[in-house]
Structure 1
Amino acid sequence: MAKNWAIAIGINQYDYLQPLNYAKRDAQLMQEFLGNEAGFERIFFFSDDSPNVAGKSTRPTRTNLLRILRQLFDNPFMEAGDNFWFFFSGHGIRYADRDYLMPCDGDPEDIENTAIAINFVSERLRRCGADNVVLILDACRNEGKKTGEGIGRQTAQEARQQGVISIFSCIPQEYSYEIDALQQGAFTRALLEGLGIQGKCATVERLDQYLKFRVPELVRQYKNTRQTPYLIAEPVNKSHLILVPRYATLVDIATLKNDAYQAEVNRSLDLAEQLWIRVLAAASGQDMDAVRGLQRIERLRNSSAIPDLPQQTILQASKSVTNTPISKPSQIPTPKLTSPSSITNTQTSGAGQFATPSTPSKKLILSNWSRRRLIQTAGFAVAGLFLTIAVPRLWRSDSGTTTPTPTPTNNQPVVSSKRLDLKASNNTATIKDTLKTDQIIKYAFFGQKGDKLTAFIDPRSSVLLTALSPNQQPIDINAQKVTAYQGILLVTGRYTIELTLVPGAAKSNYNLNVALEKPVKSTPTETPLPIPTETPFPIPTEAPLPLPTETPLPIPTATPR
């Protein structure tokens, strides 16, 4: 039975930083999900008012968090097939090119001495011994500084080196938003949806796809801004790991099996063992391929034999001996010899041995051939017998009827090429069809450099898709035999969506959805030229001409006579 443990931390109240509203609730909801739905046995929970455990405080101070990271991870206590998750909701700060988590008593003016370096957290988590370690950080950028970069860059580099699956709520240049209407952080809301009944994201890959769609949608709806989560899972087979076995589909398990087989071929026995154990856990211990895979690995570790092929005795026909194991032929009766002393030239391999007499008997002449030569000779004899019987049937008989020549069987898959008709209105296409055994269907379409391709298939089917570039190679490492793909086209040309069946499936119905989104070109806003205001010329005011005052002529007065 696999172990499933976790640490969940949520901090609202900070001594020296702006308080948050829903970080504590996010951690509580994560704790409840892990315990009630994901089947985790032990969850160490730290929040503002979390109760003491065994007389020890669980308040998320630096001292308490460092104590559990030191004491719990001093020695490995897990093994292949086990899971350990670390969830943090609170403030994060980047300082001196290093990423830090801020405990409730973290001081932004003394980060090195009061915060916790994320690379220290990752290093301690790796010590637990589990092959599946998940680091989930819902940490917003430091509120005190509106410029600069948030956490993520250094942690992503560490995750690639250490193989820790790391999930970030936003890229370093953005904020991680809380939504009052939901009373949650947008990231944790989408995370719990994806892992739960709504998203049923059983694998790392499907959870990544869900978060990239859902988080921006929530933030756009409630905040009218942008938040872009991202996930680091390297090497690429980490993205196929099953996080929630109860929602795992046959496609998920088949993909994990393919990774396990490939690890065996590459002689990465530890990795192959881990993957087969995870297949077994996802199939509730009922998968015989996984059982046989683990048995093969055990045999390989105990001997140098090639798995699943019994060791064979090889007879020496000459100085050159072929050591290639072969299928065991029908048993050849060994002639009874009159004297043991006549037995020579005996070579053993494995547990059995053959003996050839030094002097051939007159009754039985058995050359000193290799077993491969014997099988080839027997094969030629059977082929000759078949031709003796079959060839006469091909000639025209007296009745004039001809026995038709049987059509040779061809194990090569039948490839069907079709054109993908994208609707002119929205550049999308939906196709419902059936894929049969030994059949490959290719849908071709024209794409231009910069276009965003989204293709996904119903995960309940047994069909996988591969997105091929114009050179007929996968577009990138995430585009091969998956149920969903999203990426930017790097060149202009003819692209192909190739559909294949999951190994072992006879046939399957499928529902393929493809969308090609043109890059949004920012239209420059034309700065209007200033319209010059015409300075009015002064209108001269016309000075009124003075009206001459008429001097009255004196009226002569008549002199009285």
Structure 2
Amino acid sequence: MIPNAFFSDLAYCLLMATQKTDDTAFRPRRKLALVIGIGKYDHCEELQNPENDANEMSDALKSIDFNVTKKLDLKRAEMKHVVIDFEESIKPDDMVLFYFAGHGIQWEDQNYLIPKDTPTLNGADLNKSAINAQHILDTLSDHNPYVTIFLLDCCRKYHLRNPEVDARGPDASDSKSVGLKAMHKAGSLVAFACAPGTIAIEGKGQRNGLFTKYLLKHIKTANEDIRMILSDVTDGVIQESKSKQIPFVSGSLSKKNIYLCGQRRDQPREPGKYASKYLVLLFR
């Protein structure tokens, strides 16, 4: 007769095997974040919230053990160097998060982040005077991180100059560029403050932009998958804005249980403790 201890240990091993997938979420890994906020623009409308947004997002991420690089009001050359330095710091299996608050725009199916010194320009000039967001996402992901989380609170209204119209006239700006274009990259999760082609509500008189307000509320939730966190953020924004602002989330993730704040629960220490429960399942 096979001793009961054998079945006890067998049940324990099977129990541990079922927890293997969950344990990968708690595996020690570096967590890196680049947080940029730009509100004091030289040539376009200044924004009230990005400085607070970036400062508080940086503090929130540090509190859950992210190594954070935070920068405010960067000019284009400065922003390019900061992004390159961050990209080069990434190692395989790092958890990577990029956050930007400021002006953003899409032109010809490309999204651009607007640095402090970007002049009033037309769409054709953006590649030389702004920062291509898809290029940042691609380069971050190409360093083989565990996951890339890409958060853009930058769907504010930003007018491009229309060179075919008298700059003094009422139609001097081109509104075709309102909002952002959907972005995708394998192994990444992308979230915008609002749906593609729409604009976010500027939180005048508020400490934070609406999207960032709910990110700050939920992002430190322990043992919560980032997809569920962003679902909670989306729900909060929709309810407070009465559906006038609807965040956009696009994911191309193969991994499960991606926790920004993973706290390992106590593991059972005695194999026999769960034996009877799982033996019933084994031999039913």
Interval containing the TM-score (normalised by the shorter chain): 0.7 to 0.9
Distance in 2 (alpha carbons) for counterparts of 1:287 and 1:188: 38
Work out whether residues 194 and 201 of structure 1, in 8 Å CA contact, stay in contact via their aligned partners in 2: no
Q: CA 1:69/1:228 → structure 2, altered by over 3 Å: closer, same or farther? A: same
**Which runs of 5 or more residues in structure 1 are unaligned?**
49-59, 247-281, 289-409, 413-437, 439-561
Pick aligned residue for 1:184 from 196, 205, 208? 208
1:47 correspondence with 2:66 = no
**What residue in structure 1 maps to residue 276 of structure 2?**
none
Q: Deviations over 1:151-196 (max 9, x none)?
A: 4434x2x33xx32111111012322123345321000001111123
TM-score, structure 1 length as denominator?
0.38
Match of 1:242 among 259, 263, 266: 259
The answer for the alignment partner of 2:166 in structure 1 is none
Structure 2 match to 1:79: 92
Aligned residue among 132, 146, 155 for 1:117: 132
2:76 aligned residue (62, 70, 77): 62
Equivalent position to 2:250, from 229, 232, 257:
232
Aligned to 1:24: 51
Give yes or no for contact 2:106–2:181 (8 Å, CA) kept in 1: no
Q: Give the Cα–Cα distance (whole angstroms) in 1 for the partners of residues 116 and 268 of structure 2.
A: 47
List aligned pairs for 1:355-394, cutoff 5 A: none
* Unaligned runs of at least 5 residues, structure 2: 1-27, 160-172, 270-279
Identity of aligned residues (%): 22
- Aligned equivalents of 1:108, 1:131: Cα separation in 2: 38
Asked if residue 8 in structure 1 is aligned to residue 35 in structure 2, the reply is yes
Q: Partner of 1:211: helix, strand, or coil? A: helix
- Change in CA separation of 1:94 and 1:190 when aligned onto 2, cut-off 3 Å: same
Deviation at 1:46, TM superposition (A): 1.0
- Write the distance in 2 (CA, Å) between the matches of 1:151 and 1:238: 30
Deviations 1:8-60 (A, max 9, x none): 11111111111100111101000000112x111x2111113xxxxxxxxxxx1
Aligned to 1:172: 196
Query: Contact conserved, 1:170 with 1:176, CA < 8 A, in 2?
Result: yes
Match of 1:153 in 2: 181
User: Is contact 1:149-1:172 (8 Å) kept?
Assistant: no
Residue type of the alignment partner of 2:237:
V
Q: Secondary structure at the match of 2:43?
A: coil
One-letter code aligned to 1:44: T
Opposite residue 228 of structure 1, the aligned amino acid is: I
Query: What residue number does 2:114 align with?
Result: 102
Give yes or no for contact 2:181–2:197 (8 Å, CA) kept in 1: no
SS of equivalent to 2:224 = coil
Tell me the amino acid that sits aligned with residue 243 of structure 1.
L
Is the CA contact (8 Å cut-off) linking 1:208 and 1:230 kept in structure 2? no
Structure that is richer in helix per residue: 2
User: What does 1:429-468 align with in structure 2 at a 5 Å threshold?
Assistant: none
Deviation at 1:105, TM superposition (A): 1.1
Asked if the contact 1:35/1:43 (under 8 Å) is kept, the reply is yes
Q: Partner amino acid for 1:173?
A: G
Q: Determine the C-alpha separation between the residues in 2 that align with 1:238 and 1:151.
A: 30
Q: What residue number does 1:202 align with?
A: 224
Inter-partner Cα distance in structure 1 for 2:192 and 2:223: 17
Q: Relative to structure 1, is the Cα distance of residues 210 and 107 closer, same or farther in structure 2, using a 3 angstrom cutoff?
A: same
AA matched with 2:146: D
Contact 1:233 1:239 in 2 (8 A): no
Measure the CA separation in 1 of the matches of 2:260 and 2:90. 20
Tell me which residue corresponds to 1:541: none
**Number of residue pairs aligned between Structure 1 and Structure 2:** 232
Pairwise mapping of residues 236-275 of structure 1 onto structure 2 (< 5 A)?
Answer: 237-238=254-255, 240-246=257-263
Structure 1: how far apart are the matches of 2:103 and 2:268?
44
Residue type matched to 1:153 in 2? K
Moved more, 23-32 or 169-178: 169-178
Paired residue secondary structure (2:97): strand
Q: Distance in 1 between matches of 2:138 and 2:252?
A: 16
Question: Contact 2:105–2:158 (CA<8 Å) still a contact in 1?
Answer: no
Query: 1:107·1:115 contact (CA, 8 Å) conserved in 2?
Result: no
> Which of these two proteins has the greater Rg computed from alpha carbons?
1
**TM-score, structure 2 as length reference:** 0.72
Q: Give the Å deviation of 1:77.
A: 4.0
Distance in 2 (CA, whole Å) between partners of 1:287 and 1:192 is 34
Using the alignment, how far apart are the partners of 1:214 and 1:106 within structure 2? 33
Alignment of 1:217 with 2:217, yes or no, is no
2:7 alignment counterpart: none
d(CA) in 2 for partners of 1:177, 1:209: 19
Alignment of 1:467-506 (within 5 A): none
Q: 1:62 to 1:240 in 2, by over 3 A?
A: same
- Paired residue secondary structure (1:153): coil
How far residue 239 of structure 1 moved from its aligned partner, in angstroms, is 6.0
CA pair 233-201 structure 1, distance change in 2 beyond 3 A: farther
Q: CA RMSD in A?
A: 2.9
Which of 100, 108, 130 aligns to 1:88? It is 100
Question: How far does residue 113 in structure 1 lie from its aligned partner after superposition?
Answer: 0.8
Distance 1:17 1:39 in 2: 36
